[in-house]
A and B are shown apart, each in its own frame.
Chain A
């Protein structure tokens, strides 16, 4: 069974359609990249996986989104529980203006974990998983805003990982970062896929090629092509995909 699957998914903002009949499946412990020009619906689709679109007025969803076979839009689904299972990292690093420790501990406290030793252990684990531990272990009580942009983004990844999600959604996680920080994030994504299923939205074709196992190309709300990353970049079957990945438009 796929970890994450969409079936005949349509999505509307008010009366305008943003995603048309999307059916795709993502495997456990893989990295899937969503590429496509701005406004193609890739970020919208990503936010459907943890129901962040619920916060917007006037949306309509048709079809199904299945996580391990369960439709997350079924009437009785606990949205908060879903979001613990599906972590998210945003485009702009957005650590809370609190200490580094408190940022990572945030989700644990949301989950009602009270034991300080357990929180400490899991904070440490999450910071190690996000390759930030060595840089911050002596300054855990310092404000997260004192970290560099790249460190802040890895802190946001640690914050998401502390919840022990099974899926990690990343919405252009490196677009606000310098090349060195970007390289670190990409390296991290490669390591994290051993434990997590990762879906990354990116504007950078090179990034998609470097980090992902499979790539989905979206255009005007449609899934044009979805295949092995290598195939998408070397031998795509649709002309639109060829045009996009070779930089002829978008």
Chain B
């Protein structure tokens, strides 16, 4: 083999190994979590509250809490994010204001989540007197995922071919009608990508809920949006760092991690199915 071909081979394998490493890391995590966590899973584990200083019993309140927070944060972030995305791409002309809003959106995405948590505590918990509650936590998490939803909405609208807009205008449709009936349905599958990413982010977020909603131990379900809840990532944190008996609660911690990863994977799969359904609906 000559020198040139050898160099080609080396570079090719470098690329290949680097990309395979990503897959290996993901599978390693899944394997690790499954091996240690799957054995903790039982019907009781999924449907009961923690017992005996959180070393026995289940994680039902934390599962429900996390689901509440996913739904709650999306109720705030989805409409605001989608409307902002529409405004940015369909209404706002290129210029200083648009670049400024885009820059700010990117900056918002870069703010550490613990800072969101502090801000949420100052504004929602204290100033607005929501207290540690689902409402305060959902608003904080909503702010956290807002930039993701804005950017993906904007990008998906941008990818809709202009010829469809022109065709609609030429038929006498107004701008609003065109957005509603032509542009949004075409962009929708990609908007869902933003939702997928947001769900993943919300369900795993710990710092942002630390001061705004998460309960250390609360073996009953919430009655209103002003109640506190347990949440899977925070529960995991508590079990691993500050439980009454950390060694004894290890299996519960891995079980919790397993459930958390499972929820994220399942929501991803469901959202992907929805996206593919809408993508295929009219295309060839």
Contacts and interface: CB of A to CB of B under 8 A. Distances in A.
Interface of A: 50, 52, 55, 57, 80-84, 87-88, 90, 92, 94-99, 106-107, 109-111, 143, 145-146, 156, 159-160, 163
A84 B166 contact: no
Interface residues of B, number: 20
B284 A146 contact: yes
Contacts of A146: 284
B173 A110 contact: yes
Nearest to A91: B163
B166 A90 contact: yes
Contacts of B161: 94
A94 B166 CA distance: 9
Contacts of B86: none
A83 B283 contact: no
B164 to A, nearest CB: 6
A57 B94 CA distance: 11
Contact of A156 (B167, B186, B283, B284): B167
B283 A84 contact: no
Nearest to A111: B172
A82 B161 CA distance: 24
Contacts, number: 68
Main secondary structure of the interface of B (DSSP, over half): helix
B24 to A, nearest CB: 39
Contact of B170 (A87, A109, A111): A87
B170 A97 contact: no
B246 to A, nearest CB: 56
6 contacts: A50-B170, A95-B167, A106-B168, A107-B171, A110-B177, A143-B282
A84 B172 contact: yes
A93 B166 CA distance: 12
A187 B283 CA distance: 30
B168 A88 contact: no
Contacts of A94: 161, 163-164, 166-167
Given A96-B164, A97-B186, A163 B171 contact: yes
A99 B284 CA distance: 10
